Amino acid sequence: MTNPSLLILPGDGIGPEVMAEVRKIIDWIGTNHGVNFEVSEDLVGGAAYDKHGVPLADETMAKAQDVDAVLLGAVGGPKYDDLDFSVKPERGLLRLRKEMDLYSNLRPAQCFDALADFSSLKKDIVSGLDIMIVRELTSGVYFGEPRGIFEEGGERVGINTQRYTETEIERGARSAFELAMKRNKRLCSMEKANVMESGILWREVVTRVAKDYPEVELSHMYADNGAMQLVRAPKQFDVIYTDNLFGDILSDCAAMLTGSLGMLPSASLGAPMENGRPKALYEPVHGSAPDIAGEGKANPCACILSFAMALRYSFDMGAEADRVEAAVEKVLADGIRTGDLLNEDGVKPASTSEMGDAVIAALNASL
C-alpha cells in the first residue's frame, strides 16, 4: 500500500511557525501508528510572490492536484497591501480552492469546556457548543462575473455578481446533508430569499435535495437572522449550510463564540478522486497575524486540529483524529495556554513550540 501524500504550504506570517508544530504530530503518527506520510513542502501567498512573482506557481498548483491532501498555514500581510489585486497573496488560496474545485468548506465551531470563559458570550450559552458550518466555496459573489471597478456616468462603480447554478447549490447541499446524517440529523439552510433571486433558487434546491434525506430535519433562515441567532442561542444549530459570502461572515461570527480564532480548523472538500477520497485542503481559520510572526506567540492548535480533520476526511484515520483532538483538549484542561488564551495576569503563556510539545506529551500519555 502506498503511503498517503501530503503537500504542506506554510505560507506567510505565523504560518511556518504553526506548521512546524503540525510536523511534530505527523512524525508522531508515523512513529506510533506506522503510517508514514509522504510530505512535500512548497510556497503560497506572499512567500510565493517574493520568489516567483505570483501567489501560487503553476508547479505548486500541479503538486496540489496530485497529492491526497493539502495543508495550508496562512497567507497575507501588510507588506503586500499595495500589490495589484491579481497577485495579492489571497489569490493563491482562491486559486487552490477554484482549480481543485473544493466546493464544500467545513468549519466546525466547538467550545472546549476549558475555554468557555474566553467566549464573549455567557458561559452557559456556549458551554458544550458543537456546530458545523458548511460553506459553498467556489461560486457566489467572490467568483461571479461581471466584476471589477468601472467608469459609469462620470464616476467609478464597483461591481460584484452573486451567481449560483442549481448544480453548485446541490452538490454543497449533499455534503451538508451527509454530515447532518452523521451528527444530530438537523440542518439549517441560510440565505436571503426575501431580497435575492439567488436566495430563492438556493432555498428551492436545498428543499428538493432534502427529499433524499428524510431523516434530516431541515429548516430555513435568513442569513441576517442567522447571525443574530448565533450570538443569541447558538446551540439551537447543528449543521448550517450557506453560500460563499454569508458562510465567510457567519463562520467568523461562530468562531468568536469559542473564545479564539487560534482554535478553529477548517476543511475544504471537493469531488472524489480515483481512490474514492475527496480532493481536500485543510487550513486554520485564523490569518497570518504578521504582528506576532516570528515571536513564538502563535497558537498552533487550529493548525493541529486542521491536520486532525485531514486524518478523518482524507486518510480514513478517524481513531487517530480523535486521539489528536483529545490531546489538544487535555492540554487546555491542564491550563497550558498560548497568550491568546490567557486572561490571568502574571501567568507566563506557553510558546508556540511549547504548546506543540505539550500536545505530543498528551499523545504519549494516551498510548
Catalytic-residue membership of 235: no
Please say if 192 is a catalytic residue.
yes
3-state secondary structure of 118: helix
Write down the catalytic residue from 12, 164, 192, 330. 192
Helix (H, G, I), strand (E, B) or coil at 271: strand
224 carries an active-site annotation: yes
| 32, HSE (Cβ side, Cα atoms, 13 Å) | 17
Tell me how far apart the alpha carbons of residues 333 and 113 are, in angstroms, rounded to a whole number.
Answer: 8
Indicate which residue of 27, 101, 130, 252 is catalytic: 252
Catalytic residue among 12, 68, 238, 248: 248
**Are 77 and 13 spatial neighbours (Cβ–Cβ below 8 Å)?**
yes
Active site residue 66: no
248 is catalytic: yes
DSSP state of 235: G
Write the CB contacts of 367 (distance below 8 Å, at least 6 apart in sequence): 32
The answer to whether 108 and 131 have CB atoms below 8 angstroms apart is yes
For 220, phi and psi rounded to 5 degrees?
-125, 145
Residues forming beta bridges with residue 106, ordered by sequence position: 134, 267
Residue type at 327 in one-letter notation = A
Three cell numbers written together for 335: 491550563
Residue whose C-alpha cell reads 503518527 in the numeric block: 29
Among 49, 142, 241, 313, the active-site one is: 142
* Residues 6 or more apart in contact with residue 190 via CB below 8 angstroms: 220, 221, 222, 223, 226, 240, 241, 242, 246, 250
Active site residues: 142, 192, 224, 248, 252
